[in-house]
Structure formats: structure tokens, C-alpha cells
A and B are shown apart, each in its own frame.
Chain A
């Protein structure tokens, strides 16, 4: 199972903790949406590759 974690802002302690538990013993990738010009093309590739995508706050 491959999880993609997308961050809309700097992850706080709660998000970090949840990500740590959810991705434990699983393959994971991440994408930072909190930039001036996100690479949407790359993001869509990552979404298609993942089994589950979580877009955190």
C-alpha cells in the first residue's frame, strides 16, 4: 500500500503524528502544495501512482 501525503500548509504536531501512524510499515510519498507554483503535473503523477492520497490541512 502506497500513501501519498499532500500538505496544504506546514504540518503541525497533530498532522505529523497522524502521518507517522498512517504510513507506519507502508510505502509513502509526499507533495508540498504550499508553494507559489506547485508542479501539478508531478502531483497528478503521484496521485495516480498512490493507492491512497491524503490532502492534509
Chain B
């Protein structure tokens, strides 16, 4: 069986945290799930969300950001737009999540 690979991308701070939980929801359904925070700096995450990200990583998923401040503040893995594009090529499902700010 081929596992699905899903990348959710967030460009609005009001949607990032829920979008990360949505990625976790897919990971528990046996999919490779990734989240990418783009464009916006988001506040420091609460413990519940940090726990969600740790669980996601335990299931071989991850959360990335194209914004250095998010990488520093929330421990996301850094990703450029070009790297994101290459990553998207590997995905079975690509989800621009929520609106663009």
C-alpha cells in the first residue's frame, strides 16, 4: 500500500495553529503530513500545539516555515520557497489551507 503524502500550507496567522492540528489529524490516519507556515510571523506556540508538532514528528511528519522568526521562535524547520516547491512535487495532496493574508 502506498501511503499518502499531504502538505498543508498556511499564509494567515489565524489559520496556522489549527492547520498544524489538521496535519496531525492526517498523520494519525497513517499519512505523511507536513505543515508549512509562510509569509507571516506567528506568536510563540502554546504547549498543546508544541505537543502536536512533536507527535507529528514522531509519525515522520514535520512543520516548516519560510519565515526565519518562526524557525527561531517555534523550532520549525527552515524551508525556502524553492525547497517547498520541490517538496510539493513529492506530495499526493497539496492543500493551500485558509486564506492568504
Find out whether A and B make contact in their complex, taking CB atoms under 8 A apart as touching. Answer: yes
Interface residues of A (CB under 8 A from B): 9, 12, 14, 17-18, 20-22, 24, 52, 54-57
Q: Please tell me if the beta carbons of B11 and A21 are within 8 angstroms of each other in the complex.
A: no
Max chain B C-beta neighbours (<10 A), residue from A17, A22, A52, A56: A22
Interface string of B18-53 (1 = CB under 8 A from A): 000000000000000000001100000000000000
Q: How many residues of B contact A (CB 8 A)?
A: 16
Interface residues of B (CB under 8 A from A): 11, 38-39, 81-82, 84-86, 88-89, 92-94, 96, 99-100
Q: Please tell me if the beta carbons of A17 and B92 are within 8 angstroms of each other in the complex.
A: no
Q: Please tell me if the beta carbons of B82 and A22 are within 8 angstroms of each other in the complex.
A: no
Q: Which residue of B lies closest to A13 (CB)?
A: B81
Q: Which of A12, A14, A18, A55 has a CB less than 8 Å from the CB of B88?
A: A18
Q: Which residue of B lies closest to A5 (CB)?
A: B94
Q: How far is the CA of A5 from the CA of B88 in the complex (A)?
A: 13
Closest 10 CB pairs of A and B: A21-B85, A57-B100, A54-B94, A18-B85, A22-B88, A57-B96, A56-B96, A17-B81, A22-B89, A14-B81
